[in-house]
Amino acid sequence: MSDTRRIQEAIDRCTSGHAVELKASGANTIFLAGPIALKPGITLLVDAHSALFASRNPRDYDIEPGSCGVVASRRGRGCKSLITVADAPGSGIMGDGSIDGRGGAMLTGLEESWWDLAKRAKVMDQSQSVTRLISVNHSDGFTLYRITLRNSPNFHVSVQQTNGFTAWGVKILTPRTARNTDGIDPSSSTNVTITHCYIATGDDNVAIKTGAAGPASHITVADNHFYSGHGMSIGSGTSGGVHDVLVNNLSLEGADNGIRIKSDRSRGGLVENVSYQNVCMKDVTNPIVLDSLYTTFPGDLIPVYRNILLQNVHSLTPGYVTVRGADPGHKVSVRFENVTINGLKPKYISSENSEGEIALGDGGESSRACANRFVPFPKLPLAPAAAVKIPEDDHVLYVAADGTGDYYSIQRAIDVAPDTGAVISIAPGTYREVLTIDKPHMHLRSPYEDAGKTVIVFDKSAGTAGGTTKSATANVLGDDFIGENLTFQNDFNAHHPQVPVGSQALAVNVTGDRAIFRNVRFLGNQDTLYAANKHCEGCSSSRQYFTRCFIEGNVDFIFGDSKAIFDHCEIRSNVHSGGYITAQSRIGAGQDSGYVFDHCKLTADPGVDRVWLGRPWRPFAKVVLLNTEMGAHIEPAGWREWHPGETQSLETVYYAEYDSTGPGAHPGERDPHTKMLTAAQAAGYEPQKFFNGWTPRH
């Protein structure tokens, strides 16, 4: 039976300056409640042997009927918090007992927990409506003391527009795999003290935030120990300004991040006079992150980081360092004094638009400086703990342009992925970056079938990059790559005229073996897709499989010398005066190379005509078209010499067709060098046979 009503009645009847105590009685040690609200001057005291458990029924937390415990595309919160402290100055929560949000317990009427909802929202890049543990708003002088907070479905403590907030001796323990479970988040608040706390959670251990509600200032985070989590953060919202922050005597062990300031152009502001002193870290992936481009969101709220001091900061283990200003006019102003990272390598440092050098030591003295600084998470009180299912480790790396994933940059996720490969899930959005995928077994995917939702685009060209193969938006160099539900685009010609020299602009350069592209769009004009071999001594031909893909361009837009099959793909010729679909480049009759198009459709933009199936970039080019539907834009001859009147490559090429259909088929008008295959000959180009025993996974 719920204790919500009697707890709330006790709070309502209590007079200012007094407390409502939750005290065990014999074997009765658990209080079960839905949302409750503290009043001014009232303290909620949880006895050492007692625990307050949150209700598992989403309906108890509804702001509107059915608004809580759901995953939806629209942003916004549909849940009340377990404990709301609104306009209640002088109130507090304390005691040696615990408050347990039961984030990993199955919800009433559902087959999911709060944490499962959060995970599903992350995978689908949607928004979850789940309850928070404690929300403090406009409640000056609020105090948390000694209390243990566990298993929050979302943020543990959210503090808004409060002057005088203190968290002293608080323990927060939630699995590192529980999403969005920030520890303590003071937002647009001032005179904040967080001290002698122990925080292990699944998101920011502490995050200072601001927005339209005003600045966050005069904040001290001192003598704390952080474990799993996303570290000591400022941001990502900083538009209200953050100033006068001291982080002192902090240890971080096993966190994803250490010291982090994060913001972007959509919600940036001035962050100044921030000091990090006497900080010790180990097993922290990113010890230092000062990033003004945390997401790619556009806007004119440009982050400014000024007068940032890191003094006596040490990491006993290697990790990544990022210091990145928004642009040359908005550099990160940071000073490093006695900052060391053991095992740091130059490739781990990323610095752009930063004032001064990143002066990091080699870590020789860090062990001495951090002696006895790391302590085990303390024993929890005797209060009972809720039975929860801890989310399994998810080895997928999540990328989201809006910063809600693990990374906002795809390349950053590739860089930190294991050398043995990883799955990278990319949320819908536009990612303007160049990718180099040189690790094997990398799998890039979007969770949505509409490949147009997730676009990876850049605008290099042969003229600007120093060569055609250097112009690619994505370079797939490692073996066993899989890409699905994505768009790779080079939009150079959207801003520059397409001229005969220098306009080659690759969407993708793929040379890896056993590469698979499923439901991928390749957008460009000249030289859109370079499907080629590695050209290394002893290397066999690279096998590449494209299924249900869309490839557009106009001149030689599928070219190279790999061994590739295009299965049920649409090949679209866009606007240009004439064009060529393929420019295959097998260099000798003995080279194991060639392109096969099976059950594809050759289409064109309105008004496009005089398109050839291909021309031989090298004298022994090999292209086979099977069961392919061809539009009227295809020239009757089908194939053309590389330089008519100058080259005679059609004498040595292998151009073949089987059962072509549509107005562009013209079986009786093809160039006489074209081979018309029998059904038995066409069967030799099935994937397993053509790929020498490798069968792509559909």
Give the tens place of pLDDT for each residue, 224-277. Answer: 999 999 999 999 999 999 999 999 999 999 999 999 999 999 999 999 999 999
Nearest of 306, 245, 240, 311 to residue 274 by alpha carbon: 245
pLDDT value of residue 359:
66
**Helix runs in 85-127, H state only:** 114-124
Report pLDDT for 365. Answer: 65
Place of tokens 């839905």: 34
Contacts of residue 9, Cβ cutoff 8 Å, sequence gap at least 6: none
Instruction: Calculate mean pLDDT across residues 20-47.
Output: 96
The answer on pLDDT for 698 being more than 80 is no
CA dihedral in degrees (462, 467, 468, 473; nearest 10)? -80
CB proximity list for 518: less than 8 A, separation 6 or greater: 482, 483, 484, 485, 547, 548, 549, 698
Contact of 217 with 163, CB cutoff 8 Å: no
Share of the chain above pLDDT 90, in %: 83
Judged by phi (left if over 0) then psi (alpha if -120 to 50, else beta), residue 369 lies in alpha
Percent helix, strand, coil in the chain (nearest 5)? 10, 40, 50
Domains 155-372 and 433-690 share a fold: yes
1-122 has which CATH code? 2.160.20.10
Instruction: Kindly name the residue from 156, 225, 230, 314 that is annotated as catalytic.
Output: 230
Helices (H), 32-173: 114-124
Task: Spell out the SS3 assignment of 16-72.
Answer: CCCEEEECCECCECEEEECCEECCCCCEEEECCCCEEEECCCHHHHECCCCCCCEEE
Which residues, other chains included, contact 325 with Cβ-Cβ below 8 Å and sequence gap of 6+?
A: 292, 305, 331, 332, 352, 353, 354
What is the DSSP pairing of strand 242-253 with strand 270-282? parallel
Q: State the alpha helices, DSSP H only, in 299-396.
A: 366-369
Average pLDDT on 345-362 reads 78
Helix (H) / strand (E) containing 193 = strand 190-195
| DSSP bridge pairs for 626 | 598, 658
- Per the annotation, the verdict on 599 as an active-site residue is no
Q: State residue 364's pLDDT score.
A: 62
Distance CA 481, CA 442 (A): 5
Residue 325 main-chain phi, psi, to 5 deg: -85, 160
Helix, coil or strand: residue 634 = strand
Structure confidence at residue 304 (pLDDT) = 96
pLDDT tens across 48-97, in order? Answer: 999 999 999 999 999 999 999 999 866 657 899 999 999 999 999 999 99
Q: Which residue has the tokens 């406009």?
A: 138
Q: Are strands 70-72 and 127-129 parallel, antiparallel or unpaired?
A: antiparallel
Q: How far apart are CA 116 and CA 179, in angstroms?
A: 9
Q: Is the pLDDT of residue 204 over 80?
A: yes
pLDDT value at 339 more than 90: yes
At 543-572, the pLDDT tens digits run 999 999 999 999 999 999 999 999 999 999
Would you put residue 683 in left (φ > 0), alpha (ψ -120 to 50) or beta? alpha
Pull the structure tokens for residue 252: 């971080």
Catalytic residue chosen out of the listed positions 203, 204, 406, 567: 203
Residue 283 bears catalytic tag: no
pLDDT at position 406: 81
Distance of CA 619 to the CA centre of its chain: 44
Q: Which residues contact 693 (CB under 8 A, 6 or more apart)?
A: none
* DSSP category for residue 140: T
Q: What is the rounded distance in angstroms from the CA atom of residue 271 to the CA atom of residue 304?
A: 6
pLDDT-based confidence at residue 371 (cuts at 50, 70, 90): confident
Please state which CATH number belongs to domain 433-690.
Answer: 2.160.20.10
Provide Rg for the chain, Cα atoms.
30
Each residue of 585-639: pLDDT tens digit? 999 999 999 999 999 999 999 999 999 999 999 999 999 999 999 999 999 999 9
pLDDT of residue 363: 58
Whether omega for the bond prior to residue 236 falls within 30 degrees of 0, making it cis, is: yes
Q: What is the mean pLDDT of the chain?
A: 94
At 402 the pLDDT is 75
- pLDDT score of 404: 74
Per the CB < 8 A criterion, the answer to whether 202 and 177 are in contact is yes
Question: What residue spans define the domains of the chain?
Answer: 1-122, 155-372, 433-690
Q: ∠ at Cα 248 (246, 250), nearest 5°?
A: 130
Tell me what pLDDT residue 356 has. 66
Give residue for tokens 């193969």: 469
CB 69 within 8 Å of CB 75: no
Q: Which CATH architecture has domain 155-372?
A: 3 Solenoid (2.160)
Confidence class of residue 123 from pLDDT cuts 50, 70 and 90? confident
| Mean pLDDT value across residues 396-401 | 89
Burial class (CB in 10 A: 0-12, 13-18, 19+), 48: middle
SS3 10: helix
Lowest mean per-residue pLDDT among 341-350, 358-367, 376-385, 657-666:
358-367
Return the closest-CA partner of residue 104 out of 391, 383, 380, 385. 391
